[in-house]
Amino acid sequence: MTNQLFIVIKDTFLSQFKSRGYWMLVLSPLIFATLAGAVIFGITKMQGNTTPNIAVVSNQEVRSVLVQSEKELDIHVSNITNEKKANSALQNEKLDGVLTVNKNEATITTQPKSEQIPKEKITAILGNLSRSQKATQYGLTAQQTADLVQPYNLKSVVKQAEQSTNSGNTESANQLIASAIGIITVIIVMWYTSMIANAIANEKSSRIMEILLAATSARVQYFGKIIGIFALVTTHLLLYVIAGFTAFNFFKENSFVKGLASNLNGVTLSFIIYAVVFILVSVALYLVLTSMIASLINDNAQVQQAIQPISMIAMVGYVFSFIMTQMPNNLLIRILSYIPFASQSMMPIRLVTHTEGWPAAISALLIAIITLFLLLWFGQGIYARNVLSYSDEPIMKQLAARLRHK
């Protein structure tokens, strides 16, 4: 039986793995992401080459401080120190700005085509320098002067479930994670449930199923197809994980990627592993459910009937994952976070936003795993009784009748 099961798994896996449709599914998002990444990388690279060039007309102390702060301010301080020459260079668009610093005030002159100059940061540096100079005049020590010019540090946090996250990043991170997990789950579920339903429909409509069951058992076909398709899903996600880590490491110095990474600073490796495992378990649940329903298919015309209820169930978690970011403590959403077939789109988001902790997250995953094994055991009987039955009645009507007579 083991050899027969392996043959069915191998045949199911390779027949789809070699197909054009499978690679279109896998590569289409990667190609789109590559093109989008190339455009973003090019734009940010071009922006990176437009560092504003400014002339500083002031005493040597002010110039030295600004030269030392070039990297922090993302500017280039010109060697021009004469005000007349600086204004002439600005007029000829050789400079982006002229900063004139007097004793108690400073003026920055730009022209319409000037690159963006960080005026607030320059003001802060000049303010600290002015306070330091005045502190020295008042006879303060170096330590007292440093304490005086030390900026007040104000942090904004959102307190949730005994943990805090940066409030500026929370909302955008929630939306990104909700979108990613929800979309990935729905796409994978819809594609692979359709794949296993079509495989069963093709074998039944061509009567190949009868030949297969003469050589093997319904149980072997049932587990072989589910494991074979599940191996495709795992391969699919593994390719995406590898591509994602490779792209991140390659573009990690890009300003756009840095900004994205800062928004997702609450996402850890343990969370990524948890989310991927949860998605895999949930996809396996959908594959088992689809196999049970698809065993009632008479021909290819009934495939859509079989996968339509599966798609509707998958959409429940997808829709509520967006609602959850607005109403995380809603009772219905909290309940759905533990219910298999929906929890894969709910609980990972609740975990990463600290609405729930790891105990609740692990509990939801264990419930899904236990449900998977129970459904596998229950489904093999449904599959064995119906895989050789042929009826023109609606799929759901047949399933309801079979369950009543279970």
- pTM for this predicted structure: 0.67
The answer to whether 303 and 193 are in contact (CB under 8 A) is no
The answer to whether 118 and 77 are in contact (CB under 8 A) is no
Instruction: For residue 115, give the DSSP letter.
Output: P
Nearest residue to 305 (alpha-carbon basis) of 318, 290, 320, 315: 290
For residue 355, report the phi and psi dihedrals to the nearest 5 degrees. Answer: -70, -35
* Measured distance CA(78)–CA(55) in Å, rounded: 5
Q: Given the structure tokens 């339509």, which residue do they identify?
A: 308
Every domain of the chain and the residues it spans: 53-149, 166-404
What pairing do the DSSP bridges indicate for beta strands 76-77 and 163-166?
unpaired
The answer to whether 148 and 308 are in contact (CB under 8 A) is no
- Per DSSP, the residues of 211-242 read HHHHHS-HHHHHHHHHHHHHHHHHHHHHHHHH
The answer to whether 361 and 347 are in contact (CB under 8 A) is yes
Nearest residue to 260 (alpha-carbon basis) of 340, 175, 339: 175
Nearest residue to 343 (alpha-carbon basis) of 353, 331, 335, 355: 335
Q: Which amino acid is at 153?
A: N
Q: SS3 breakdown of the chain: % helix, strand, coil, rounded to 5?
A: 70, 5, 20
Fold category of 53-149 in CATH: D-Maltodextrin-Binding Protein; domain 2 (3.40.190)
* Measured distance CA(203)–CA(303) in Å, rounded: 12
The answer to whether 160 and 354 are in contact (CB under 8 A) is yes
End-to-end Cα spacing for the chain: 26
Kindly give the confidence (pLDDT) of every residue in the chain, 406 residues in length, as a single tens digit, with 9 standing for 90 and above: 678 888 888 888 998 888 888 888 888 888 887 887 777 666 666 555 567 888 888 888 888 888 888 888 888 888 888 888 888 888 888 888 888 888 778 888 887 766 678 888 888 888 878 877 777 777 767 677 666 666 655 454 444 444 444 444 445 555 566 667 777 788 888 888 888 888 888 877 777 777 777 778 888 888 989 999 999 999 988 888 888 888 777 777 666 666 666 666 656 778 888 888 988 999 999 999 988 888 887 777 777 877 888 888 888 877 777 676 667 677 888 888 899 988 888 888 788 777 888 999 999 999 999 999 999 998 888 888 877 776 666 666 666 666 665 5
